[in-house]
Every structure is written in C-alpha cells, then in structure tokens.
C-alpha cells in the first residue's frame, strides 16, 4: 500500500504526515491489515478484525490529528509497531486482533 492509497482510505491522516518516510514504511509493512481496517461504529457492541486493525494502526494517527498527541510521540509509536512486526511478523499480526473477536462488527439496537 502506498501513502496515497492510505490517505485515500483514511482521510483522517493529516497533510503534515503524508511526506513522512516513516508513514511510507508503515503503509507498506501493514498493507494487508490496513486494506481490511475500518473505523468501528460509535455504537459498536462487538468489533471485527478490521475494527481492531483500525484501532491499533490508524487510531493513533487520528488522535495526533486532533492535537492530543505530539508528532514525535506518534512517530515513535509507529516505529515501535514496525519494530515489533519486524521481530515477529506472524505473531505481531496475530496480536492485533484479540481472541474471540467478532466475525463481523455488531452494532447496538437502533444503530445502522
């Protein structure tokens, strides 16, 4: 996955990160999970793997965009994710989704 594909899928990625080489490595390394990632509904009662991928991989970037995290802290977090993946690619990918995750996202009553 390229940064352009990542940004097209997740517009919450702020412009100041789009030229960051670390983001390019992140997009490439986690392409498989990022293609499946989707933001969980606010009324989600059970999260599927795509929701978990979003929460672990994309949500920190969204938090940064809101000004609730400094750029250096975000870049360190992204590097830590890359380092953990490099150390054990299969084990790390499996750790992104907890045991018992729903097959499909479930939403509470009255949600669409």
Q: Is residue 110 part of a domain?
A: no
The per-residue pLDDT for range 19-40, each reduced to its tens digit, is 999 999 999 999 999 999 999 9
**Residues whose CB is less than 8 angstroms from the CB of residue 50 and which lie 6 or more positions away in sequence, other chains included:** 36, 37, 38, 105
Q: In the predicted model, is pLDDT for residue 110 greater than 90?
A: no
Q: Is residue 112 part of a domain?
A: no
Residue 34's pLDDT is what?
98
Q: Is residue 108 part of a domain?
A: no
Q: Is residue 13 part of a domain?
A: yes
Residue 31's pLDDT is what?
97
Q: In the predicted model, is pLDDT for residue 51 greater than 90?
A: yes
Residue 109's pLDDT is what?
86
Domain count, the chain: 1
Q: Is residue 80 part of a domain?
A: yes
What are residue 107's phi and psi, to 5 degrees? -115, 150
The per-residue pLDDT for range 58-94, each reduced to its tens digit, is 999 999 999 999 999 999 999 999 999 999 999 999 9
Q: Which domain holds residue 9?
A: 3-102
pTM, to two decimals:
0.91
Q: Cα(111)–Cα(70) distance, rounded to whole angstroms? A: 34
């Amino acid at each position: 996955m390229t940064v352009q594909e990542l940004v097209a899928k997740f517009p919450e990625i702020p412009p100041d990160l789009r030229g960051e080489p670390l983001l390019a490595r992140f997009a490439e390394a986690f392409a498989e999970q990022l293609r499946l990632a989707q933001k969980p509904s606010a009324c989600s009662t059970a999260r599927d793997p795509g929701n978990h991928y979003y929460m672990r991989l994309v949500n920190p970037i969204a938090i940064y965009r809101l000004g609730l995290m400094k750029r250096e802290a975000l870049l360190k977090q992204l590097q830590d994710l890359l380092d953990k993946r490099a150390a054990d690619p299969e084990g790390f990918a499996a750790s992104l989704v907890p045991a018992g995750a729903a097959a499909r996202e479930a939403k509470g009553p009255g949600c669409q």
